[in-house]
Structure 1
Amino acid sequence: MIRFESPADVETIHALTAAAFQRAPHTSHTEHLIVDALRAREQLTISLVDEREGVIVGHVAVSPVSVSGVSNGWFGLGPVSVLPGHQGRGVGSGLVRAALAQLRAQGAAGCVVLGEPAYYARFGFRAEPGLVLQGVPPGYFQALAFDAAMAHGVVAYDAAFDVRPPESENPEALQG
């Protein structure tokens, strides 16, 4: 069952997101902190969970992005988190589809995602040469326009994405 998060889900989402990215390649291991910061900054536009047999096994976050400094109805998808034991079973796909449906229903212009090109292409995302996220390989930054024209410019995510772990959670700091 995919549903909106409730206040009682916050701690579970934090732990689930940390676990989902613990062994993932190409990660900053701050995804759980990003979701917390988006929520605290009231920038978590959509927050859905997948609950199976009373256990939350997946979560997707959606937040506004700006394009060339303008907030124009575009959103960023992610992080998408699935408990390791449930990955590869369609949980993430279901969450992505549900989040995109919610964005369309809310009249969003479009959505961007930073992730594996082959995975996100199945939802209609594609690399757009005129829409860039600085410092990221172009193929991994993809966009999907809804009923509006494709945006062009430099995309910026909310400052919540710049969060860094406290030293007690930062493996690099612990190595001294």
Structure 2
Amino acid sequence: MQIKDERPEDAAAISRITAAAFATAPHSSGTEARIVEALRQADALTISLVAVSDDGSIFGHVAFSPVRIEGVVGRWYGLGPVSVAPDLQRQGTGGALIRAGLARLAAMNADGCVLLGDPAYYSRFGFVSDPALTYGGEPSPYFQRLVLKGDPPKGDVKYHAAFDVT
């Protein structure tokens, strides 16, 4: 497996993989592939990485896009969606994509990253739930942050408008 930057010709494969990865997920809104497409169209994919097999086929993807935190000046990003082809899930691809993306954020001197996801999974990357950081005005154990530099932020997080697609 190689992890590479998304190329323009990868968009269709990323869309297929994202739709397939979330097709049976109980927490899925069914809009994940459209979110990635909308982020791409808005030039808001700060980091977009693909997992590529030895034969050149794409089987995983992760997106990072800017977020705003009410009352906080800084460079914060949202992780997600992260997608792996269903038949290749639970083999470390998602984790490798996430680690590569977080390393890129750190190299960019980002302040940190937020996500909405399973604490049991994302805690392995250093993410923690923080009731001082909210999403939709409410704290949630599923909304988590990872500070890369500086102090933990406080306030409500707003994702890019692409996340509002229906």
Query: Higher strand fraction: Structure 1 or Structure 2?
Result: 2
Map 1:7-26 → 2, pairs under 5 A: 7-26=8-27
In the other structure, the counterpart of 1:41 is 42
**1:29 aligns to 2:14 (yes or no):** no
- Report deviation, 1:58: 0.4
- CA distance in 2: counterparts of 1:22 and 1:156, whole angstroms: 25
1:148 is paired with a residue whose SS is coil
In the other structure, the counterpart of 2:123 is 121
Please give the per-residue CA displacement for 1:1-29, whole angstroms capped at 9, x wherever unaligned: 00100111011101110011001111101
**Identical positions, percent:** 53
**What is the RMSD of the two structures over their aligned residues, measured on CA atoms?**
1.2
Q: Is the 8 A contact 1:34 1:161 kept in 2?
A: yes
- CA distance in 1: counterparts of 2:15 and 2:128, whole angstroms: 29
- CA distance in 1: counterparts of 2:155 and 2:71, whole angstroms: 9
2:30 alignment partner AA = H
- Report deviation, 1:134: 1.6
Task: Give the number of the structure whose alpha-carbon radius of gyration is greater.
Answer: 1
Q: Is the 8 A contact 2:132 2:139 kept in 1?
A: no
- Report deviation, 1:135: 6.5
Q: Is the 8 A contact 1:69 1:156 kept in 2?
A: no
Go from structure 1 to structure 2 and tell me whether the alpha carbon gap of 1:10 and 1:120 turns closer, same or farther (over 3 Å shift): same
- Report deviation, 1:148: 1.5
- CA distance in 1: counterparts of 2:147 and 2:88, whole angstroms: 30
Gaps of 5+ in 2: none
Go from structure 1 to structure 2 and tell me whether the alpha carbon gap of 1:98 and 1:16 turns closer, same or farther (over 3 Å shift): same
TM-score, normalised with respect to structure 1: 0.90
TM-score, normalised with respect to structure 2: 0.95
Please give the per-residue CA displacement for 1:58-116, whole angstroms capped at 9, x wherever unaligned: 00000000001656200000000000001000000000000000000000000001001
Q: Is the 8 A contact 1:64 1:71 kept in 2?
A: no
Q: How many aligned positions are there?
A: 164
Q: Is the 8 A contact 2:72 2:153 kept in 1?
A: no
| Runs of 4+ off more than 4 Å | none
In the alignment, which of 107, 110, 133 is matched to residue 108 of structure 1?
110
- Report deviation, 1:31: 0.2
- CA distance in 2: counterparts of 1:99 and 1:29, whole angstroms: 23
